[in-house]
Amino acid sequence: MHGRPDRISSAESELRFTGISASAGYAHGPLFRFEAPSAKYVTSASPAIETETLKAAIAKATERLAELVASAAGEAADMLEFQLAMLADDSLSNPALAAIEQGAAADEAWSDALANEIAGYEASEDDYFRARAADLKDIRQQVLDALTSSDSVSAPPGAILTGSDIAPTRFLATDWTQGGGIALSAGSSASHVAMLARSRGVPMVVGLGPLPDQDGIALLDAEHGTLLLGAAGDSVELFQSSAEAFIGRRRKAQDYLRKPAVTASGTPVRVQVNIADPADVDSIDIATCDGVGLMRTEFLFGKPGGLPDEDTQYRAYRKVLEWADGKPVTIRTVDAGGDKPVPGFTVDEGNPFLGLRGIRLSLARPDIFRIQIRALLRAAARGNLKVMFPMIAVPEEYERATALFAEEARALTAAGIAHKQPPLGIMVEVPSAAIAPELFAKAAFFSIGSNDLTQYVMAAARDNAAVAALNSVTNPAVLRLIEAVATFGREHSIPVSLCGDAGGNPASIPYLLKAGLRDLSVVPAQLALAKAAIAEAEA
């Protein structure tokens, strides 16, 4: 759960709720609560009929999902495929069918079976697992709707959808062409819906805390993470001027997209992109960026079919290298664990952020790591590849990882398989590496992971609304470390870039440039805004 949000009453009729922005933007419109109860199911009281009814409802829900998959692409399609795979999994339906044999009605049996699964996911400390609970709730509701033949009511155009958490299929079935937004009392910025909202530009705020059961017009400021109910006068004017300024900045930023990034004082800055799924590059023109500063590979490892084999990985890496057409592509070896658990790979731990994650896990499982290394060595022959290791805390980790690269390269040579040794660098995201960069001078490059570096320096989780104010990259302690790493890199000819989310945040960019950074990697949606912010900065 996110922390308890502030709830400030600034005028008698005005309520302001504060949460976390999951997708920036502004929306004002009627509130629409989407968690209305389904129509009531009438049981036949016959186990044989109930069994058939439940199976038919699962088949109908599967059919509806398959229709949505046909019109979805990229992340949305992946998410729907994930739900389809869950629905096809007997271990989800078997407990419900067993309960029906014992006399339960189909709706009750299905709800109870799913409730157990959902409770397990929700109890997790981990944002990733809580995010998957939303998919299970979605599946539960779709089968219940199929049982009662009820179709969920659509939101009116431009509405602000509220509830505790929103189902991905609800998001996909909503018409966003006339505006609107999402305001959740719980939810997570790591959820599938949050990713979809960011890629479609739908404003979304999570972690707002309990919202009153009231109708009327709401103002959603998903740039700063607030929801205003019953607003009037100055608050409305302020909201409108912020929204206009935001739209203006976005529009103006487009002028910078196709130009190389240069500061107001004429200093060139490299701006690369962060990607995950190779399909992400389909919508990016390589001419608008200086390459890929971070390709996260965890997405390859989290698929329902199990861990990826060498060829699956090789194809994914090669696709991005070919798209980059000679520009650098920095692929990070799998950073499983922490906020990114991978079934069949990561371990259950009390404090996963401080546990067996990133390079620690890869070195603990060389059988899995070597497969990725071989795929990377082969892909290196197809473009300008650089490889980096996540969560490096001590130099021995870098040395052991590079030794594995050398061993696998020798094995590929012996087998006559084309490959190339890429430059090997490190993420600087554990404070030990940022405080003593001289211990890592053998690394070919440094890439500062400001998301993790900030949370470890400030002891404030990156996904907890209650401590969001502490989790600040512009805190002098964090900036001092970033500046020290940038200076060390300059003095020892080690290239330094930054690939955390701060690199794409116009508010942090002036601080990062002042700290000496000249190479940022940002999410594609922030590319234009980042270049515009660089153009205004004096550095």
Using CA atoms, how far apart are residues 339 and 391, in angstroms rounded to an integer?
13
Q: Which of residues 421-440 bind Mg ion (CB under 5 A)?
A: 429
**Where are the alpha helices (H) located in 174-262, listed in sequence order?**
192-200, 234-257
Q: Is 168 in the site for Mg ion (CB under 5 A)?
A: no
Q: Binding marks (x or -) toward ligand PEP, 311..350, rule CB under 6 A? A: ------------------------x---------------
CB closer to ligand PEP, 105 vs 295: 295
Q: Which runs of E-coded beta strand occur in 169-302?
A: 181-184, 204-206, 217-221, 226-229, 270-275, 292-295
Smallest distance, ligand PEP to C-beta of residue 452, A:
3
Q: Is 297 in the site for ligand PEP (CB under 6 A)?
A: no
Task: Pick one of ligand PEP, Mg ion, none as the site partner of residue 514 (Cβ within 5 to 8 A by kind).
Answer: none
Burial classification of residue 152, based on how many CB atoms lie within 10 Å of its CB (0-12 exposed, 13-18 middle, 19 or more buried): middle
- Please report the DSSP string for 109-148 in residue order: HHHHHHHHHHHHHHT-S-HHHHHHHHHHHHHHHHHHHHHH
Q: Is 449 in the site for Mg ion (CB under 5 A)?
A: yes
Selected range binding Mg ion among 323-331, 364-372, 412-420, 442-450, rule: CB under 5 A: 442-450
Q: Is 489 in the site for ligand PEP (CB under 6 A)?
A: no
Q: Is 298 in the site for Mg ion (CB under 5 A)?
A: no
Using CA atoms, how far apart are residues 79 and 96, in angstroms rounded to an integer?
24
Q: Which of 75, 107, 165, 452 binds ligand PEP (CB under 6 A)?
A: 452
Burial classification of residue 360, based on how many CB atoms lie within 10 Å of its CB (0-12 exposed, 13-18 middle, 19 or more buried): middle
Q: Is 127 in the site for ligand PEP (CB under 6 A)?
A: no
Task: Pick one of ligand PEP, Mg ion, none as the site partner of residue 437 (Cβ within 5 to 8 A by kind).
Answer: none
- Are 452 and 431 in contact by the 8 Å Cβ rule? The answer is no
Q: Which of 126, 429, 463, 519 binds ligand PEP (CB under 6 A)?
A: 429
Tell me which residues are annotated as active site: 192, 499
Total residues binding Mg ion (CB under 5 A): 3
Helix axes 106-122, 47-71, angle to 10 degrees: 50
Phi and psi based region of residue 325 (left: phi greater than 0; alpha: psi -120 to 50; beta: remaining): left
Smallest distance, ligand PEP to C-beta of residue 501, A:
7
Q: Is 501 in the site for Mg ion (CB under 5 A)?
A: no
Selected range binding Mg ion among 62-70, 260-268, 281-289, 452-460, rule: CB under 5 A: 452-460
3-state secondary structure 464-478: CHHHCCCCCCCCHHH
Smallest distance, ligand PEP to C-beta of residue 283, A:
21
CB closer to ligand PEP, 223 vs 429: 429
Using CA atoms, how far apart are residues 503 and 523, in angstroms rounded to an integer?
9
Q: Is 449 in the site for ligand PEP (CB under 6 A)?
A: yes
Using CA atoms, how far apart are residues 422 and 432, in angstroms rounded to an integer?
25
Using CA atoms, how far apart are residues 391 and 275, in angstroms rounded to an integer?
18
Q: Is 503 in the site for Mg ion (CB under 5 A)?
A: no
CB closer to Mg ion, 226 vs 451: 451
Chain positions contacting Mg ion, by CB under 5 A: 429, 449, 452
Chain positions contacting ligand PEP, by CB under 6 A: 294, 296, 335, 429, 449-452, 499-500
